[in-house]
């Protein structure tokens, strides 16, 4: 630990479980003061105890990122307690699985936009004046591999993840010269509760045999991205092959996506190592 994050103030949304919880703990291990935001107060209190057990200062603020008053209270509470905000990790979000022709598709898009995009925009806009005054800070956007390449039956999620990526890209350029940096993270399938209620059979074929990342893998990538000022991080690195193929031509992107449905190809790229999402998630207690 090099002390880079010692006493920095890090706000993590969606910190009650999954990637957000792991990210908060990872920053706490590096000496940061951590602000936890999510809707479920008792889960937040539990994560706050875990942060304290690491010897770090913590503030838990029950927050709904879709409610503007709640967002204002989060930012006011943070500045009231710590006087500054060095890192904002916009991680709160939801995800739905369903085909474009399914009856709930419109609703899925609207709900995901509210929680994962407009929530992020609102929190970011509330925090930016503070970072601009400081002349420093980092805003992290949590997108997905699906923020660069959509998969069948993940249309509603992919639409929103593309938007999270585009917002981060545009914001980074608007903030050039201000001292405020923007990083966007694109993890592949991760073993969290996000898709716990999705039937294995409903998952697009490559996801049925893919070995998920752990929430801790993603958390370490977030911390590294902030430390190194990385603009964009794709996890695992081999997923970049898919994104490069897609950038070159959608036909090639689809070919790689189809090839990943073959277990040996996914295995060769290190994306199918035995344990699947459903194996991993069923071995973990539900935290929702
Ligand atoms: N799991 C994956 O495969 C994967 C892959 C790539 C990217 N991601 C992204 O990673 C982020 C975290 O997801 P996860 O996988 O850790 O899922 P998760 O375990 O379901 O956690 C989602 C978090 O977001 C919070 N949240 C949801 N709606 C909220 C709202 N309106 N206001 C405040 N907090 C809210 C939840 O807490 P409360 O319910 O307590 O509010 C929870 O803490 C999401 O943005 C997701 O899109 C996930």
Distance CA 188, CA 262 (A): 17
Cα(269) to centroid(ligand 1), Å:
27
CA distance to 207, 265, 280, per residue, from 275 (Å): 11, 16, 6
Predicted confidence (pLDDT) per residue in 178-209, tens digit? 999 999 999 999 999 888 888 888 888 788 88
The two structure tokens encoding residue 99: 């085909």
Mean of the pLDDT values across residues 247-272? 89
Lowest pLDDT segment from 51-55, 102-106, 237-241, 279-283: 279-283
pLDDT (0 to 100) of residue 206: 83
CATH number belonging to domain 9-282: 3.40.50.720
Contacts of 273 (CB under 8 A, 6+ apart): 211, 267
Q: Is 288 exposed, middle or buried (0-12, 13-18, 19+ CB in 10 A)?
A: exposed
Q: Where are the domains of the chain?
A: 9-282
Mutational test site, ligand 1, from 142, 192, 204, 232, max ligand atoms within 8 Å of CB: 192
pLDDT (0 to 100) of residue 143: 98
Residue nearest to atom 25 of ligand 1 (CA): 14
pLDDT (0 to 100) of residue 200: 82
Asked if 247 contacts 239 with a C-beta cutoff of 8 angstroms, the reply is no
pLDDT (0 to 100) of residue 164: 98
- Closest C-alpha to 34, from 43, 22, 229, 42: 22
Phi, psi torsion values for 65, nearest 5 degrees = -70, -10
Cα(251) to centroid(ligand 1), Å:
31
Contacts of 116 (CB under 8 A, 6+ apart): 92, 93, 94, 95, 160, 161, 164
Mean of the pLDDT values across residues 249-255? 94
Predicted confidence (pLDDT) per residue in 97-146, tens digit? 999 999 999 999 999 999 999 999 999 999 999 999 999 999 999 999 99
Cα(206) to centroid(ligand 1), Å:
22
**Helix H or strand E encompassing 187:** strand 180-187
- Closest C-alpha to 207, from 288, 263, 167: 263
- Closest C-alpha to 138, from 101, 96, 172: 172
pLDDT (0 to 100) of residue 265: 87
More confident residue, 223 or 284: 223
pLDDT (0 to 100) of residue 207: 84
Residue nearest to atom 21 of ligand 1 (CA): 18
- Closest C-alpha to 63, from 10, 11, 13: 13
pLDDT (0 to 100) of residue 1: 56
Contacts of 226 (CB under 8 A, 6+ apart): 87, 138, 140, 183
Whether pLDDT at 2 is above 80: no
């Amino acid at each position: 630990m090099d002390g880079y994050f010692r006493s920095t103030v890090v706000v993590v949304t969606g910190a009650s479980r999954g990637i957000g919880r792991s990210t908060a703990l990872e920053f706490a291990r590096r000496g940061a003061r951590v602000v936890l935001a999510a809707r479920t107060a008792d889960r937040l209190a539990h994560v706050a105890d875990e942060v304290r057990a690491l010897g770090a200062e913590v503030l838990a603020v029950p927050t709904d990122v879709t409610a503007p008053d709640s967002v204002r209270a989060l930012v006011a509470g943070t500045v009231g307690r710590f006087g500054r905000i060095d890192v904002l990790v916009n991680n709160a979000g939801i995800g739905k699985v369903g085909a474009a022709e399914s009856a709930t598709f419109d609703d899925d898009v609207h709900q995901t936009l509210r929680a994962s995009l407009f929530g992020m925009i609102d929190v970011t806009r509330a925090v930016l004046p503070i970072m601009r005054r400081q002349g420093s800070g980092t805003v992290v956007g949590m997108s997905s591999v699906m923020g660069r390449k959509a998969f069948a039956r993940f249309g509603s999620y992919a639409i929103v993840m593309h938007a999270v990526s585009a917002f981060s890209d545009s914001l980074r350029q608007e903030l050039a010269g201000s001292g405020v940096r923007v990083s966007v993270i694109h993890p592949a399938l991760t073993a969290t509760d996000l898709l716990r209620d999705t039937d294995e059979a409903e998952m697009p074929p490559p996801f049925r045999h893919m070995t998920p990342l752990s929430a801790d893998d993603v958390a370490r990538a977030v911390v590294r991205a902030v430390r190194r000022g990385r603009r964009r991080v794709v996890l695992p690195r081999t997923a970049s092959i898919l994104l490069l193929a897609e950038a070159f031509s959608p036909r090639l992107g689809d070919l790689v996506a189809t090839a990943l449905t073959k277990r040996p190809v996914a295995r060769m790229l290190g994306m199918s190592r035995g344990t699947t999402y459903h194996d991993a998630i069923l071995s973990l207690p539900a935290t929702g």
